[in-house]
Structure 1
């Protein structure tokens, strides 16, 4: 039995950052999936392929670089914003 406030040996600390990052990736998914409101179908498919690739990277970084996963989620949202903004400005995507 261990004393209160102490962790038993052999149990590493669990970092909250990958969980935060995956929550951010879930938020980014909804942005990517809802892009069909302003983008053509082929752009939505391309955006979802990019999101899946970013999700695979986030899963790989879960244990290797747990503090990088939230940054990847932020990068995913910024990438989505840049693509949708550029598509609206240069390719005349609109709602």
Structure 2
């Protein structure tokens, strides 16, 4: 007598979440902002900004599947940090074109 085969229960396909993809798109936009900062900021400030971006990018790559909404928050935070650093640099340290 043969054992009856177990049937696999068909699971509905998982819905793809937009949060990690939208966050990575914002990370790419933030990279371009950070890279073009050399037009206004000194080279050492641009290097520090790019190092900060790289650290956050590595964290976002690790969060892609586990914490997808953190990527978007991190990318928006990076844009805010970029804005604050460039405005503060122009106001207090005389960075300008």
Query: Do Structure 1 and Structure 2 share a fold, with TM-score over 0.5?
Result: yes
Structure 1 segments, 4+ long, off by >6 Å, are: none
The CA deviation string for residues 20-64 of structure 1, in whole angstroms up to 9 with x for no partner, is: 000000000000000000000111111000000110111111111
Query: Secondary structure in 1 aligned to 2:64?
Result: helix
User: TM-score scaled by structure 2?
Assistant: 0.84
> CA–CA distance in 1 between the matches of 2:43 and 2:69?
34
Provide structure 1 residue ranges, at least 5 long, that are not aligned to the other structure.
Answer: 1-7
More helix by share: 1
User: TM-score scaled by structure 1?
Assistant: 0.86
Provide structure 2 residue ranges, at least 5 long, that are not aligned to the other structure.
Answer: 1-9
> CA–CA distance in 1 between the matches of 2:94 and 2:70?
34
What is the RMSD computed on CA atoms of the aligned residues? 1.3
Q: Who wins on radius of gyration, i.e. which is larger?
A: 2
